[in-house]
Amino acid sequence: MAQADRAARFEAEISEDAVLPFSVPALHVRGRVIRLGTVVDEILRRHEFPVPVSRLLGEALVLTALLGSSLKFTGRFVLQTRSDGIVDFLVSDYEVPGKLRGYCRYDAEKLAGHMDEDLSPGLLMGEGHLAFTVDQGSDMQQYQGIVPLEGESLAEVAQNYFRQSEQIPTRIRLAASEIYMPSPLAGTPAEKVWRAGGIVAQYLPKSGGLGETETYGFVGGQDDYHAADGGANTDSWTEAASFIDTVEDHELLDPMVPPERLLYRLFHERGVRVFDKAAIGVHCRCSRERIGGILKQFDDRERDDMTEDGVIRVKCEFCARTYEFDPSNII
């Protein structure tokens, strides 16, 4: 591999699996950009969902990481949908710092009946609702916002939430797809991998200046955000939103377009500032000890009903790992 190619691949690798906060002070805009690499590939490969379903889950993982990574405290951000669609249940969560996981359930018969159609996220989800939940731990009250699944994409649904519930002008772009990545080994064919990316921008004219070490969040309430009070109609927000609307899927997915370069393309005339990246990794909260503790809560008869071929098998839907237990050793 040529030196230039190696340098480009290295730049791509350090730009993946991280969230990059930014601000455009001249437009009163703050936001985040993310590109998921091995993280989204690992999660989606575990489940082996059909491509349209994997793409939807990939976009949900991006949205969850974009919003969850902005939490100012130790806790979890959970995105969940329930609907009558082909994908009737979807959940992804982000645990501070940088722990991401996701799962969805789909109806294979319904999916087979639509394979000849353009399966948009809106069609996959159908009618139902999207819930955002912020869990700050057992000693703190949960915050939850709910919005109907209205729109042709998950990004549209999320924008509706911020407009209706938080009164914050927001633009979101999400993308997930399989792409071919060049192999680092000469003579080795390119490999097909999942990649996902996204950008969120919000208009926050009353907020104070954003220092290089300051953290901020997109999820919370108007006290945190200083809602824009009709700012969606201002020239600044109109300009910023028009820039975000020009973002193409390939710009969010192309490993040779680092997030910093994308932001420069969008806002260089206005002056864009970037801050420290936050790393994202795959993490599941399941463990043998945790599941064993749950099984102990069942009586002997109930555990007998769970036993097959002399063992109790429990599969974690998030990480697809299967645990086996000897019923006689569960005390």
* The predicted structure's pLDDT at residue 157: 95
* The predicted structure's pLDDT at residue 7: 45
* The predicted structure's pLDDT at residue 185: 62
β 278-279/18-24 pair status:
antiparallel
Q: Tell me, what DSSP letter sits at residue 37?
A: S
CATH code at 3-282: 3.55.30.10
CA dist 9 and 196 (Å) reads 17
* The predicted structure's pLDDT at residue 233: 60
**CA dist 81 → 36, 78, 285 (Å):** 21, 10, 20
* The predicted structure's pLDDT at residue 46: 92
Q: What tokens appear for 154 in the block?
A: 């998950």
What's the 3-state SS for 6-20? HHHHHHHHHHCCEEE
* The predicted structure's pLDDT at residue 105: 96
Q: What is the pLDDT along the chain (331 residues), one digit of tens a residue?
A: 454 444 444 455 567 999 999 999 999 999 999 999 999 999 999 999 999 999 999 999 999 999 999 888 788 999 999 999 999 999 999 999 999 999 999 999 999 887 766 788 888 999 999 999 998 876 777 889 999 999 899 999 999 999 988 889 999 999 999 998 876 666 677 789 999 999 999 998 765 443 333 333 454 333 344 444 445 568 899 999 999 999 999 999 998 899 999 999 999 999 999 999 999 999 988 889 999 889 888 888 888 889 998 899 998 988 888 999 988 887 6
* The predicted structure's pLDDT at residue 210: 37
pTM to 2 decimal places:
0.86
**Which residues lie across from 32 on neighbouring strands?**
21, 200
* The predicted structure's pLDDT at residue 116: 61
Domain boundaries, the chain: 3-282, 288-329
Amino acid at 66: L
**Which residues lie across from 314 on neighbouring strands?**
323
